[in-house]
Amino acid sequence: MDISVSVARLPGPGETILGGQAVIAPGGKGANQAVAAARLGADTAMAGCVGEDEFGGPILLALAAEGIAREGVRRVPGVATGLALITVDAAGENMITVAPGANGECGPAEADAALGGPPGLLVISAEIPSAAIAAALAGAARRGVPTLLNLAPVPADAEAAVELAAGADWLVVNESEAAALLGHPVAGLAGAAEAATALRDLLTVAAGPGAREAGQAAAGRGYAVVTAGSHGAALAGPDGTDQVPGFAVASVDAVGAGDAFVAALAVGLAAGAAPADALRAACAAGATATTRRGTQTALPRPADVRAATGVAGPWPAGA
């Protein structure tokens, strides 16, 4: 559950800032990405954990309202639902602190639940234990299901994080997350492009020969994507590199933009779009999400993306 407050500027260390009225609404990276994918026309199912508290029920209702299959979401007694504490300034920049709560209970059961439906594309974010991520990636590899890992946040052990990400077909990170994995700053679209190439090289080495048999992405076949906020995004893959500059929109709140990007990229790929086309659609969806306040409330539908950026997108028929 997100608890968001708008402020004139973000506070510094030890500083108290008075903000506007707090807004409490369903959130979480996984749920945000599921909602965004459903709004873009994908048949979407969610697996994860919430608590048996005052927030767990409303979150499940919110998923159902979007047409998302939620049989894979388990309510855990005695544990609080995950919380995100969000501060957003006048320019739309944000600071987010997450209390994982029930997310920390995700494990093999949720990994199996995520793979229980028809083959499609499995999207995973990193607000759950690394063991659950590894189990889901290995299960997907055994079943031949392509995977997209949004490694956000990056686990504290960067080397272990790279080994974990090597099990995914697609890795998506932002500038700060790429910097944590690579050990040096990453800034702007040019920096994102260099980082995407460097990450793909790391992942290829980490995957090694015979990776698919071991439950990992095939060595040399994976993609690395680095987003650079309003500057756009870059990818590196087996067919080379690509960059998409950011779209000029009237941004008011960047919270959820990354989740809209991930979902749009996944939906485009699942619909059979070429990587470059899926990347452009993802940048357009991410930019569109910044034009409205809130997180799930701001996640766009195809008509919203077309209106804000002119991009039709490789969405499923009828979306």
Q: What share of the chain is helix, strand, coil (3-state, %, to 5)?
A: 40, 20, 40
Q: What are the distances in angstroms from CA 268 to CA 120, 193, 312, 314, 316? A: 12, 21, 11, 5, 8
Q: Is the peptide bond before 209 cis (omega within 30 degrees of 0)?
A: no
Active site residues: 259
Coil, strand or helix: which one is 273? coil
Give the residue from 158, 231, 227, 154 showing the smallest Cα distance to 195. 227
CA angle centred on 83, ends 87 and 151, rounded to 5°: 85
Give the up-direction half-sphere exposure of residue 198: CA atoms within 13 A in the CB hemisphere: 18
Residue in 144, 100, 142, 94 with CA at minimum distance from that of residue 125: 100
Q: Are 20 and 44 in contact (CB under 8 A)?
A: no
Q: How far is CA 244 from CA 34, 232, 277, in A?
A: 24, 5, 10
Measure the CA–CA gap between 117 and 181, rounded to whole angstroms. Answer: 32
d(CA 225, CA 177): 11
Q: Show the beta-strand stretches assigned E in 107-166.
A: 122-125, 147-150
